[in-house]
Amino acid sequence: MYPILFERLFLKKTIRIILFLSLILSFQNSLSQNHPNLILTKQGVIDIKSQLGAIPIFDNTLDKIKKEVDANISEGSKVPIPKDMAGGYTHTQHKKNYNMMQNAGVLFQLLGDEKYAIFIRDMLMAYAKMYKSLPLHPQDKSYARGKLFWQCLNDANWLVYTSQAYDCIYDWLTDTETTYLNENLFKPFADFLSIESPQFFNRIHNHSTWGNVAVGMIGLVMDDNELVNRALYGLKEDNIDPNAKDNDGGFIKKQGQKVGFFANLDDPFSPNGYYTEGPYYQRYAMYPFMIFAQALNNKKPELKIFDYKDGILIKAVNALLNLTDEDGEFFPLNDAQKGMSYYSSSLVSALDIAYFYGSKDPALLSIAKEQNEVQLDETGLAVAKGLKDHLEKPFIKKSVELIDGENGDQGGVGILRYNKKDYTMALVIKYTSQGLSHGHYDKLSFSLYENGDEVLQDYGLARFVNIEQKNGGGYLKENKTWAKQTIAHNTIVQDQTSHFKGDFETGSQYHSIRYLFDASNPIFQILSAKENNAYPGTELQRTIAIVKEESFQKPYIIDVVKITSNATHQYDLPFYYFGQVISTNFKYEIPDVLTALGKDNGYQHLWKEASGISNGGTIEFTWLKNKKFYSITSATEQGDQLILARIGANDPEFNLRKDPVYIIRKTDSKSTVFVSIIEPHGSYSPVSESAKNTYSNIKDVKLFYNTENYTAFIMTYKFGIKKLFILSNNDASKETKHEINIDGKSYQWVGPYLFKTIK
Amino acid sequence: MYPILFERLFLKKTIRIILFLSLILSFQNSLSQNHPNLILTKQGVIDIKSQLGAIPIFDNTLDKIKKEVDANISEGSKVPIPKDMAGGYTHTQHKKNYNMMQNAGVLFQLLGDEKYAIFIRDMLMAYAKMYKSLPLHPQDKSYARGKLFWQCLNDANWLVYTSQAYDCIYDWLTDTETTYLNENLFKPFADFLSIESPQFFNRIHNHSTWGNVAVGMIGLVMDDNELVNRALYGLKEDNIDPNAKDNDGGFIKKQGQKVGFFANLDDPFSPNGYYTEGPYYQRYAMYPFMIFAQALNNKKPELKIFDYKDGILIKAVNALLNLTDEDGEFFPLNDAQKGMSYYSSSLVSALDIAYFYGSKDPALLSIAKEQNEVQLDETGLAVAKGLKDHLEKPFIKKSVELIDGENGDQGGVGILRYNKKDYTMALVIKYTSQGLSHGHYDKLSFSLYENGDEVLQDYGLARFVNIEQKNGGGYLKENKTWAKQTIAHNTIVQDQTSHFKGDFETGSQYHSIRYLFDASNPIFQILSAKENNAYPGTELQRTIAIVKEESFQKPYIIDVVKITSNATHQYDLPFYYFGQVISTNFKYEIPDVLTALGKDNGYQHLWKEASGISNGGTIEFTWLKNKKFYSITSATEQGDQLILARIGANDPEFNLRKDPVYIIRKTDSKSTVFVSIIEPHGSYSPVSESAKNTYSNIKDVKLFYNTENYTAFIMTYKFGIKKLFILSNNDASKETKHEINIDGKSYQWVGPYLFKTIK
């Protein structure tokens, strides 16, 4: 395939001698003549080799990877001409190639078997031969087409991984070889991803992070400072049209926006590490962020990258781990495929790097233990050793507020958790900024989990990532027409239109406002946030609390949505439950033919299965899912509509999940309040056929008082106790003394709310 | 509550002396004066006591039960006036009472603590005080109303369990007490269940089994031979109207039908232990069958009950265990609630009894190990000891045919299984008789499982057992309008009418015919059955094979339905898949409004979501469920309709699951053949986002030949190989030599089928 062997060996020997001499003569050469030095380092390799066979998880990971790479080498390498979309053959093969090369590089360094170096060299040569003459990828679905893949993003993935492989065999290659590869493959590749694709490279976006890091990594390997600086600070000129948008409808670039790797650390990360796109994309971006940081730390320690922005990278990993359910799966805020979790290889890597360069937090080790694999370098070795020495401590996911925005002043995500042995509840409430082009229009939405299972869901994205039959694995049109729309979420919709009319530009100008977050009392945790821009002229405030009463088997949830508007509107409050309707205390009609609930804004995707009208009393809705019962008990006004609907209308390719929803609708309302108690209760066993606690324990819920400054409701438990809740709407101070008179009675308290038993 | 203590103690002492004397004087008295002797025995108790603390599973079960009973005793006993339906308070309480009494009886015998005897006595006295004056239960939904419960069936449950408790304290009670209880509670109770409820007692049905056993058990305790004989042989006179039906639409009694316990062993059980109602009700009936057999064996060993009908009881337990999926859940044939499994307490009991009185089969121990509890008597002790001694061997569920009918000549259930490490496939094909009143109209239907998960489902019943909100936990009207109808199953429907027009009387006259069952070759297992009476004038034959080719990741399934009719009809072949449509190779239209697929026979419950027309070629349908891909690839004729539908239309109380179905419809057909290949393939990981093997490996399927005597098709794999399958339709002999000419080519083979690679 390439220069015959004896020639290479001869050259190699000569070069080694020259290398040795030059090392002695000049330490300045060390940067370029001392590979590996990107992720693996010379010293790191020595340390690791000395401990091979003694650190179980490290050894097991190495063994697993060795098996995969060996199998791949036996199959013979394939470098096909790019052709297919995601999920198709050429896409999958090129993706496999960069993974195999990266792993082979590690195996070469740790095991010293030349076959791995040969595998990488030959494959790189095959890419190099092809690269310069490659046109843009034939599939033209992306705003930034790649060459190996349909989008630059995947090309950048390739380079981030392949840079590491290249670094591992750099010293083993001849000068002729490295010169050839640099000139024919890597430099053109880096230029293509940056200079030739500014709309991809010069953004604040996870795509650009990958692009920046790809260019930076290969720049570090080739000791090309120009490339490294390009990566860190972006292209100086890009001529990007300020109105240009990407495939997801996001703007490419705001005017005057800083770009490059540092800018991508500055802007999307909040001070406590929340990444504005949401956890699914944070997970995706964490790998390039962390791996490049590790490389920079090795080669440019003077940048002190892990201290940057008060240690933002380490904080980001912690934030991300907190954005998971009991099973380690990320909460699917914004565009997010469900099931993605901290078992993802990018999180294995990010966690190991965070452990090693952070404070060696033993709580991270317990997650690493679950992951049961490590990154094959010094960071992974440290983690594996920590586990071998049983240093791990539980990673306890507590209630936490993750603020959004570069300065942390753009709302946030509130997570309320109730943890008990064998039972956990998690509530995720979103009051962030738009979240860039992957953002959904769902201010003040929430989702509910029990023991890691969804109870009230966020739909996530409409996409089958890497399943070729479904639009080449790319976003489906239903992502825009359904998944991003407000009605696809558990939050208020006014007049069947989405927040900000579903307009990205408008949505990007605003964020919700955090009003109150107090999780200090585990049996009464409360959060409140406001949104004043989603519907001009209408102010929304949602208050959610987890309440655990001794007399209740599980905690219940208070959900109060206060709406203040200057005009009359229709308001829908959906609850995306799962499973089977067990009972309602209202009558409903079912239609003979099913029609869609509306014409647009996502409503065209809902079949209306049933509807009823409230008589103005307490309305109860009970369902059964996963052998457990749940009820939503709500205060309503006469004429409120109660709608049972199901996703799936106008879905010509069966792209949507046919999940159900219960909607409380208020028509012709100006200012109003939705009050609901969401209550998990009881259980069912199909084996003993025993049904326990199948009824809600809430007898009634009544709005008691509602002014600009205060909102109050009263509820009665079925066993008789009455509870009053009052919220101060405009003063969340813990110190303020409040006093109000309702129906001739005076109520006094200190702090933002009152919750107490009354007679 | 009852005679003061010293009086009781004095009496007791006196009686003990008398007892002792009478024992010495006369061994004939031993039957009545030597309780317990029903399930627990005097000797058994001595044996058990000597080993307490040394047999882990036994001790753990005892401990668990002790905790439950102790908690119940602390709460105080409640014997409310009967009022509620299943799931309601009084129903649940009386059910709890008999369970607690039965357990308390065991605890009294094994632990010797009198508090348990007192608990039982006081509760029995409370029942006795109330019983004689109790009217029929106020809920009048049953064809045989009970007194404590809404149906006699539950009253019988009460007596079966309570008899055991009574036996445990019989000797401890005073004569006055036993006389009082016998006269005021137990004798009237037994008479009510039999003489006063002949429509309940004198049948072949699981209800009557409970009734017979209840009367028999209390008869044995009271030494009332008249009652025992009534139980064994039924009422001599009953005056049951031969046209009377029960709530499920089943006939009460065929004319001339034998009745009683023995008749219920004779008729519904086939020679290899299949129970004609199906596994869900077999599970329910197994407890009274086995517990009464144990009691009879103890008190009337001369009956040799465990040898009866060639050991039918032991065989029945084995058959039942074979009717479970990988997770131990029963295949939901006929009326059956999904999720019921061999973890049910009735199976714990049945298994222990079968182990003890059978051949001490070590394979049963491995199931007992999973159950992780035992019956607290000698049988459970034997099982627990077996486990302690590690005698268990795997219970390997092999492919098996369970024949139906008293003489095994009424069709059967075929189970084809493919077992490999970490992968199992199970196919369940039904070609039985009607299965009494719980039977569904689904001849030649099938369902498919992988690793215990449903791939193509049988809907099961439409009922939420013991969930009060859903019709008091009873059968829902959709059980009749949907679940029992043919279209609710994966089998052929002619002209949108159910088999036998859904008429119980007609259906009860017929059964399908077993044609071929050969599971001798694990990589080509085949089954074929015929149904000639479901639609007069039309003959149906279904042939199903599991095929494992080396080049395929998993086995695929051949499904051939041959239809021969004397008139033109429409034929529907539904496949009840789960999950998400991934792709089809046919175009389909989706409607703007959803309408039901038909007006009756179950079709009124299906929403038509999409439909397309075949161009006459191979039709492919691929879906994704549980991170796995599946395809059905079918030979079709031009004009065949392909329908995607979903359960849930005309379901005014949301009683149905909204599951999807794919239907292949042939219109205006006389004799025709459906040929489909059902193929599990590939996988998806939401963590690595890798999609493997997402396409079917079948390129095309073509009907090749179809005559009265032979049916043949050819399929081509995507990698080129062609396969020919020929079935001899009328000669299933393994020896017969066949030769046919098709298109000038001669094919020769021996046996019922040919499956080979061709050019």
Percentage of the residues of chain B whose pLDDT score is greater than 90:
92
Residue of B438, B489, B499, B511 with catalytic role: B438
pLDDT at residue B26, as a whole number: 42
The answer on A537 and A432 residing in a single domain is yes
Dist. CA B743–CA B754, nearest whole Å: 17
Interface test with B, best of A64, A466, A589, A629 (most B CBs within 10 A): A466
Residue range(s) defining the domain that contains residue B644: 400-758
Which whole number is the average pLDDT over A21-29?
Answer: 44
- Beta carbons of B340 and A689 less than 8 Å apart: yes
Please say whether the dihedral angle defined by the alpha carbons of residues A213, A200, A407 and A563, taken in this order, is positive or negative.
negative
For B134, the token pair is: 């109790």
Q: Is residue A672 part of a domain?
A: yes
Q: What is the mean pLDDT of chain B?
A: 95
3-state secondary structure A207-246: HHHHHHHHHHHHHHHCCCHHHHHHHHHCCCCCCCCCCCEC
Q: Quote the DSSP letter at residue B683.
A: E
The strand ranges marked E within B392-433 are: 400-403, 412-420, 423-431
Q: Which residue of A has its CA nearest to B644?
A: A654
* Known catalytic residue at B281: yes
In the listed set B335, B368, B397, which residue is the last one of a domain according to the structure?
A: B397
**Phi and psi, residue B585, nearest 5°:** -100, 10
3-state secondary structure B113-179: CHHHHHHHHHHHHHHHHHHCCCCCCCCCCCCCCCCCCCCHHHHHHHHHHHHHHHHHHCCCCCHHHHH
Q: What is the DSSP string of B50-87?
A: HHTTS-HHHHHHHHHHHHHHHHHHHH----PPP---TT
Q: Which residue of A has its CA nearest to B579?
A: A657
In the listed set B381, B397, B413, which residue is the last one of a domain according to the structure?
A: B397
- Beta carbons of A580 and B657 less than 8 Å apart: yes
- Beta carbons of A465 and B607 less than 8 Å apart: no
How many beta-carbon pairs under 8 angstroms link A with B?
124
The answer on B592 and B568 residing in a single domain is yes
In the listed set B369, B397, B425, which residue is the last one of a domain according to the structure?
A: B397
CATH (domain of B296): 1.50.10.100
pLDDT at residue B248, as a whole number: 77
The answer on B640 and B492 residing in a single domain is yes
- Counting the structural domains of chain A, the total is 3
A63: distance to nearest CA of chain B, Å?
Answer: 19
Q: Which chain B residues contact residue A475 at CB under 8 A?
A: none
Among A249-253, B316-320, B529-533, which is the least confidently predicted range?
Answer: A249-253
Pick from B478, B86, B205, B156: nearest CA to A689: B86
Q: How confident is the model at residue A26 (pLDDT cuts 50, 70, 90)?
A: very low
Interface test with B, best of A467, A626, A647 (most B CBs within 10 A): A467
The answer on B414 and B384 residing in a single domain is no
Higher per-residue pLDDT: A750 or B11: A750
Q: How confident is the model at residue B524 (pLDDT cuts 50, 70, 90)?
A: very high
pLDDT at residue A34, as a whole number: 87
Q: Which residue of B has its CA nearest to A465?
A: B689
- Nearest beta carbon to residue B593 from set A345, A593, A694: A593
Q: What is the DSSP string of A522-540?
A: TTEEEEEEEESSSSTTEEE
Question: A165-221, pLDDT tens digit by residue?
Answer: 999 999 999 999 999 999 999 999 999 999 999 999 999 999 999 999 999 999 999
Q: Which chain B residues contact residue A99 at CB under 8 A?
A: none
- Beta carbons of A691 and B466 less than 8 Å apart: yes
- B442: three-class secondary structure by DSSP: coil
- Beta carbons of B593 and A595 less than 8 Å apart: yes
Token match 């003959």: residue? B539
Q: How confident is the model at residue A596 (pLDDT cuts 50, 70, 90)?
A: very high
The answer on B595 and B486 residing in a single domain is yes
Q: Is residue B93 part of a domain?
A: no
pLDDT at residue B8, as a whole number: 56
Pick from A642, A602, A408: nearest CA to A487: A602
Higher per-residue pLDDT: B758 or B250: B758
Residue A27 pLDDT exceeds 50 = no
- Quote the crossing angle between the two packed helices A152-169 and A206-221, to the nearest 10°: 20
The answer on B595 and B503 residing in a single domain is yes
Question: Can you name the residues that pair with B684 across neighbouring β-strands?
Answer: B691
Token match 């009359």: residue? A568
Question: A79-121, pLDDT tens digit by residue?
Answer: 999 999 988 899 999 999 999 999 999 999 999 999 999 999 9
Which whole number is the average pLDDT over B114-130?
Answer: 98
Dist. CA A364–CA A383, nearest whole Å: 9
Interface test with B, best of A281, A584, A593 (most B CBs within 10 A): A593
Question: A360-400, pLDDT tens digit by residue?
Answer: 999 999 999 999 999 999 999 999 999 999 999 999 999 99
pLDDT at residue B34, as a whole number: 87
The answer on A422 and A498 residing in a single domain is yes
pLDDT at residue A17, as a whole number: 58
pLDDT at residue A248, as a whole number: 77
Dist. CA A38–CA A299, nearest whole Å: 7
Q: Which chain B residues contact residue A460 at CB under 8 A?
A: none
Q: Is residue A171 part of a domain?
A: no
- Nearest beta carbon to residue A652 from set B339, B590, B595: B590
- Beta carbons of A651 and B590 less than 8 Å apart: yes
Question: A319-361, pLDDT tens digit by residue?
Answer: 999 999 999 999 999 999 999 999 999 999 999 999 999 999 9
- Beta carbons of B687 and A343 less than 8 Å apart: yes
Dist. CA B344–CA B337, nearest whole Å: 13
Q: What angle do CA A749, A750, A753 make, to 5 degrees?
A: 75
> Quick one: how far is CA B185 from the chain centroid?
33
Which whole number is the average pLDDT over A709-736?
Answer: 97
Interface test with A, best of B586, B595, B689, B696 (most A CBs within 10 A): B689
Question: A723-735, pLDDT tens digit by residue?
Answer: 999 999 999 999 9
Cβ burial B431-468 (10 Å sphere, 16+ → b, else e) = bbbbbbbbbbbbbbbbbbbbeeebbbbbbbbbbbbbbb
- Beta carbons of B687 and A339 less than 8 Å apart: yes
Q: Quote the DSSP letter at residue B511.
A: B
Half-sphere exposure of A664 (CA within 13 A, CB side): 29
Report yes or no: A340 and B687 within 8 Å, Cβ to Cβ. Answer: yes
Pick from A415, A213, A396, A420: nearest CA to A331: A415
Cis status of the peptide bond prior to A36, with omega within 30 of 0? yes
The answer on B434 and B357 residing in a single domain is no
Dist. CA B362–CA B448, nearest whole Å: 29
What are the CA-CA distances from residue B284 to residues A109, B207, B277, B288, B621 (Å)?
A: 64, 10, 10, 8, 39
- Beta carbons of A688 and B87 less than 8 Å apart: no
Q: Quote the DSSP letter at residue B655.
A: -
pLDDT at residue A415, as a whole number: 98
Q: Is residue A482 part of a domain?
A: yes
Q: Which residue of A has its CA nearest to B347?
A: A687
Dist. CA A596–CA A604, nearest whole Å: 5
Dist. CA B241–CA A318, nearest whole Å: 75
Q: How confident is the model at residue B11 (pLDDT cuts 50, 70, 90)?
A: low
ipTM: 0.92
Cβ burial B241-262 (10 Å sphere, 16+ → b, else e) = eeeeebebbbbbbeeebebbbb
Which whole number is the average pLDDT over B125-152?
Answer: 96
Residues 6+ positions from B567 with CB-CB distance below 8 Å: B537, B538, B670
Own/partner contacts of B545-549, CB < 8 Å, gap of 24 or more, are: B545/B416, B545/B755, B546/B416, B546/B418, B546/B425, B546/B427, B547/B523, B547/B755, B548/B418, B548/B522, B548/B523, B548/B524, B549/B523, B549/B717
Q: What is the DSSP string of A426-481?
A: EEEEEE-B--GGG--S-TTEEEEEETTEEEE-----SB-TT-TTTGGGSB-HHIII
Q: Is residue B537 part of a domain?
A: yes
pTM for the complete prediction?
0.93
A652: distance to nearest CA of chain B, Å?
Answer: 6
Consecutive H or E run containing B347: helix B345-357
Q: Which residue of B has its CA nearest to A330?
A: B687
Which whole number is the average pLDDT over A435-452?
Answer: 97
pLDDT at residue B1, as a whole number: 41
Q: What angle do CA B365, B368, B374 make, to 5 degrees?
A: 120
Residue A3 pLDDT exceeds 70 = no
Which whole number is the average pLDDT over B547-567?
Answer: 97
Dist. CA A320–CA A278, nearest whole Å: 9
Q: Is residue A559 part of a domain?
A: yes
Which whole number is the average pLDDT over B159-165?
Answer: 98
The answer on B410 and B307 residing in a single domain is no
- Quote the crossing angle between the two packed helices B56-75 and B378-388, to the nearest 10°: 130
Dist. CA B154–CA B139, nearest whole Å: 13
> Quick one: how far is CA A3 from the chain centroid?
46
The answer on B611 and B669 residing in a single domain is yes
The answer on B691 and B607 residing in a single domain is yes
For A246, the token pair is: 């990407």
Strands B513-518 and B524-531: antiparallel
Q: Is residue B199 part of a domain?
A: no
Q: Residue B189, Cβ neighbours under 10 Å: how many?
A: 26
Report yes or no: B560 and B570 within 8 Å, Cβ to Cβ. Answer: no
Q: Which chain B residues contact residue A467 at CB under 8 A?
A: 582, 624, 684, 691, 694
- Beta carbons of B689 and A87 less than 8 Å apart: no
Question: B561-610, pLDDT tens digit by residue?
Answer: 999 999 999 999 999 999 999 999 999 999 999 999 999 999 999 999 99
Dist. CA B405–CA B277, nearest whole Å: 11
Q: Which chain A residues contact residue B581 at CB under 8 A?
A: 653-654
Q: Is residue A453 part of a domain?
A: yes
Question: Can you name the residues that pair with A245 across neighbouring β-strands?
Answer: A251
The answer on A495 and A374 residing in a single domain is no
* Residues of A labelled as active-site residues: 281, 438
Strands B672-685 and B556-565: antiparallel
Residue A304 pLDDT exceeds 80 = yes
Consecutive H or E run containing A757: strand A753-758
CATH (domain of B711): 2.70.98.70
Higher per-residue pLDDT: B146 or A23: B146
- Beta carbons of A694 and B337 less than 8 Å apart: no
Residue B431 pLDDT exceeds 60 = yes
Question: A213-265, pLDDT tens digit by residue?
Answer: 999 999 999 999 999 999 999 999 888 888 888 887 778 888 788 999 999 99
Residue B249 pLDDT exceeds 90 = no
- Nearest beta carbon to residue A684 from set B467, B582, B689: B467
Higher per-residue pLDDT: B104 or B27: B104
For B253, the token pair is: 């009694």
